[in-house]
Amino acid sequence: MKIRLLVLAAGLAFAGNSFALAPCSEGSSRLFDNCVGAHAYANGDTYDGEWKAGKKHGQGSYTWADGERYEGQWDNGTKSGLGAYFWTNGDRYEGQFVDGIYHGEGIFTYASGRTVSGEWDAGKPWNAVARDASGEVTHGFSEGVPQCRKVDG
């Protein structure tokens, strides 16, 4: 499991390097195609990254007006691939996304230091291990069902 998470972290570290796309022209994001650039939305949200056919596509960072942020891969305007989502309270998820939801290998780290790492299915831990802030296993998930930790006695 640790090796898979290290590979995942390495993928996120290198994901920020985009291929040499031309800068986007000034104007509406609808005109952005096969380019890299930033767009500020009327509601205060911002996106900085790669575009295709007027949609977020490739590597990019989206910041909501409330401060929440996603950094990672986009596919046709949707969070898909490796990415990281940061909440304003300090929680974060780093891992795989499918259709905008965490799905696949990933780790959810709470601001308190607690973690849930492993496989996720449609935004929920599927085959995963939960640890407290000191790293001690507290419980797990098997096919989405919470499992009590076995205590040696």
What domain count does the chain have? 1
Neighbours of 148 (CB within 10 A): 8
Q: Is residue 153 part of a domain?
A: no
Q: Is residue 71 part of a domain?
A: yes
120 in Cβ contact with 126 (< 8 Å): yes
The encoded tokens of residue 29 equal: 């994001």
CA distance 135 to 65: 33
Q: Is residue 70 part of a domain?
A: yes
Q: Is residue 73 part of a domain?
A: yes
Q: Is residue 39 part of a domain?
A: yes
The CATH number given to whatever domain includes residue 134 is: 2.20.110.10
Span 118-148, pLDDT tens digits: 999 999 999 999 999 999 999 999 999 999 8
Q: Is residue 51 part of a domain?
A: yes
21 in Cβ contact with 50 (< 8 Å): yes
Only one residue has tokens 């990019």, namely: 60
Span 29-70, pLDDT tens digits: 778 999 999 999 999 999 999 999 999 999 999 999 999 999
114 in Cβ contact with 134 (< 8 Å): no
Q: What is the pTM of this model?
A: 0.83
Q: Is residue 61 part of a domain?
A: yes
- Radius of gyration, CA atoms only, the chain: 18
Q: Is residue 120 part of a domain?
A: yes
Domain enclosing residue 98, as ranges: 2-148
Band (7; pLDDT cuts 50, 70, 90):
very low
